Amino acid sequence: MTKVTRNVGATAVLLAVVVTASACSGDGDPVGSLADRSVAPAAFPVHPSAVTRVPPAQLPAIVGDISGNPVGAEFDPADCAPQPISPTPARTVVQTAFGSATTPDGLPPAYTTVITRMGDSLDDLGELVRRCGDYRRGEVRIVQRILDGVPSVSGAKTLGYTRTETAAAGDPVTTVLLVAQRRKIRVYATERITGKAATGDRPTAELVKLLQAVAAEGLR
């Protein structure tokens, strides 16, 4: 079993964060803080005023939700534990916003971008998603599938997949993730939906636009 701690299915909290500059190494990877990198709010499929940056105190919870590896979780099989995202502010910048609910009694979708330094490759993440299409995190069943039609990003590898979490009580939570990575820098554009989600085999145009925006900023 793999151990890490956090309540299952928590909704991302929207708050603000401050940032500083980063340096670059000879091979093009920034070696200092990534905290100066941020996505223009207009790239999100919501009103720009709804977009905020996640402060350091909230990063462990939010990156646990995005990665699917929340703090304190146990996985079965253990080797299906998702790749964690660093909660260190200098290594990870997260912006998030809630959209509009599609039904009167529904919860609004949450859109999130992540810019982070990773030790794992995107090929490894893709292999993990394909191998672990159906596994458990505690009492929660996790189903994952690869998406088609993920746009290319110059000089980077890309991947798209969905992850649906279903507990015995409560509505299922589906996260659609578009990911790009160049060397050790990885970016995510995600949409998190609570309830029955009609996610097709391809990402939406809005999420593709968000991936392109976070890639342009995070992989520069």
pLDDT of residue 101: 77
pLDDT digits (tens, 9 = 90+) for 144-173: 999 998 999 999 999 999 999 999 888 899
pLDDT digits (tens, 9 = 90+) for 25-82: 433 444 578 989 999 999 999 999 999 999 999 999 999 999 999 989 999 999 999 9
Residue 200 three-state SS: coil
- Which residues are paired to 163 by β-bridges? 144, 175
Torsion-angle region of 206 (φ positive above 0: left; ψ -120 to 50: alpha; else: beta): alpha
When pLDDT is cut at 50, 70 and 90, the band that residue 98 belongs to is very high
Q: What is the pTM of this model?
A: 0.84
Domains and CATH numbers, the chain: 41-218 (3.40.1000)
Cβ 121 vs Cβ 181: under 8 Å: yes
In the structure encoding, which two tokens stand for residue 8, read together? 């299952």
When pLDDT is cut at 50, 70 and 90, the band that residue 12 belongs to is very low
Mean pLDDT of 209-219: 97
When pLDDT is cut at 50, 70 and 90, the band that residue 10 belongs to is very low
In the structure encoding, which two tokens stand for residue 184, read together? 């050790």
pLDDT digits (tens, 9 = 90+) for 179-188: 999 999 999 9
pLDDT digits (tens, 9 = 90+) for 118-151: 999 999 999 999 999 999 999 999 999 999 989 9
> How far apart (Å, rounded) are the C-alpha atoms in residues 220 and 216?
6
Q: Could you identify the residue written with the tokens 């992989």?
A: 219
Say which amino acid occupies 213.
Answer: A
Residue 129 three-state SS: helix
